[in-house]
Structure 1
């Protein structure tokens, strides 16, 4: 059963049959919820409540030409189940109401007045000291979760590996970078023709695919952070797996660089969560480069000169020392 907005009577009957909607609930409205890349996400309102329905397809919702494993909503469900048992960090996750494996459909709490933090690319001052504290508190708590039985999530990691560590560094990869910003394709040759860099990134990619020791979010960037009256919520955990905590923190720091958050703030956050410095730097640099030159573009307000400066900084982070 593939859902779309507005829900049809067939959809509503299915949701009742699966216990996602109560027998006496009437759907008053259904609409697309947010601009997520991976999945079809709907906000469904009844006379009693509003819920989020998140469904995966065998492809990326925003890029139907890109295949993706349907079981990713099952990974997200497993992640929230683990987090619900952790008193220190459970409140950061939305509540789970139901999961239907037959249609890879996840029913979640609707976060009232929840707004993501994509605004920081335009307004870096929105990355407050309190938000930084909250994000570090979440990561430190998450990375203490014992999750030896968490799914390997190999298929999603393979997809992510391709788009982080391989495609952005390949010439003729099919990405229309000049269509995003004139001159961006020429600038990308700075990384696509750097043999030392490519070798280091390939090595890092193998590390990403190897077994790790800590449960990690796997896509810890501003689109996964929600501001709400009830506090910070962390969503979109379908890339979660047991890996290196440096990956989560590195992704976070990379997006602060891309948002032009002052270096002194970034340095402070890095020092307050001491991890393997070389590994952290390499993951940070790689995330910067894949967001500048990869398929998953961001709403950045950077000139070509600013992107070149960031690319040079990212290359230095990756090549600085062995991890």
Structure 2
């Protein structure tokens, strides 16, 4: 195993996980675009997962993001674990000077990534429902804690790493849709309901022995929970083009996740939240082909055009129910 980078070692020492002057070995992990992530073996044999936020994300576009987001990820992990202990890794420490945090190591043999399951066509509607159920549980609990909103002064950060690269950038690619997309940005930014994860994606959800485990809350924000719902559902739609043989099952997961999530919404009328998620979803859908962070598995222009066709029509006539988005995509796929 190679030596762990110096700044990570400094962070581990500052957290009290590594003695002064001691070193550690580890293994860099693939998959992240916003952080360096390592599996680190400490001198006493303990394994930990260490993340260090990057100032420039690993994408083709020039996408800068403040490394202070590491602080808010640590806070999200702490608060979310109060609501759903089995659904969040245990935070071991965080060092702001190096932008580093450490969590318990969850071995991939026991905690496979949901995205890989979906890539294989393994679409488990019961698991998708549990994702929705636990996400709603965390948000419901946090909605009862408005006092913690001051722990997440991240409006500018959320704009920089979510609203701008997804919706604002897509508005530049589709000038005729700019008013609709900019209105989504303004509404999302102004809606303050509960603690938002900001990156609820299958790549950030582990299939654990006791259900889903949420990772990578670098975009944590006190704001609109409809963003989390729409962001995750968006991936289930896109996966229909990645693994077409499982498309019907992915749409079943879409229904299961949305239904379970909305059943757990108690901080506002579920239909009101659903309307925001349904109208936001086409913007996020289009963003994953024409924003700053296109999904890596859609490489054929004909597939991108299918996304554009459906998303553009829905942005021009905004839906207020998620099933409207689902049925439009189902029709485009000819299912």
Residue of 211, 223, 239 corresponding to 1:243: 223
3-state SS in 2 of match to 1:76: helix
Residue of 99, 115, 125 corresponding to 1:118: 115
1:184 alignment partner in structure 2: none
Residue of 216, 219, 225 corresponding to 2:196: 216
CA 1:109–1:30 in structure 2 vs 1: closer, same or farther (change >3 Å)? same
Structure 2 unaligned segments of length 5 or more: list them. Answer: 241-246, 263-269, 321-335
Superposed CA deviations along residues 279-301 of structure 1, whole A, max 9, x for unmatched, are 21222111111111122122325
TM normalised by structure 1 equals 0.81
Does the 8 Å CA contact 1:112/1:229 hold for their aligned counterparts?
no
Q: CA deviation at 1:6?
A: 2.9
Q: Distance in 2 between matches of 1:229 and 1:322?
A: 37
Matched, 1:103 2:98: yes
Residue of 296, 299, 316 corresponding to 1:299: 296
Does the 8 Å CA contact 1:121/1:258 hold for their aligned counterparts?
no
Deviating more after overlay: 40-49 vs 213-222? 40-49
Does the 8 Å CA contact 2:288/2:294 hold for their aligned counterparts?
yes
Q: CA deviation at 1:97?
A: 0.7
1:225 alignment partner in structure 2: 205
Does the 8 Å CA contact 1:212/1:244 hold for their aligned counterparts?
yes
Residue of 132, 142, 149 corresponding to 1:136: 132
3-state SS in 1 of match to 2:150: coil
TM normalised by structure 2 equals 0.78
Residue of 50, 53, 56 corresponding to 2:50: 53
Q: Distance in 1 between matches of 2:258 and 2:314?
A: 13
Residue of 228, 232, 239 corresponding to 1:259: 239
Q: Distance in 2 between matches of 1:63 and 1:294?
A: 11
Q: CA deviation at 1:21?
A: 1.9
Does the 8 Å CA contact 2:199/2:219 hold for their aligned counterparts?
yes
3-state SS in 1 of match to 2:16: coil
1:169 alignment partner in structure 2: 171
Matched, 1:44 2:40: yes
Q: Distance in 1 between matches of 2:172 and 2:69?
A: 27
Q: Distance in 2 between matches of 1:11 and 1:268?
A: 40
2:330 alignment partner in structure 1: none
Higher helix share: 2
3-state SS in 2 of match to 1:259: helix
Q: Distance in 2 between matches of 1:217 and 1:199?
A: 26
2:152 alignment partner in structure 1: 151
* CA RMSD after TM alignment: 2.7
Number of aligned pairs? 293
Does the 8 Å CA contact 1:163/1:295 hold for their aligned counterparts?
yes
Does the 8 Å CA contact 2:8/2:52 hold for their aligned counterparts?
no
Q: CA deviation at 1:84?
A: 2.6
CA 1:230–1:63 in structure 2 vs 1: closer, same or farther (change >3 Å)? farther
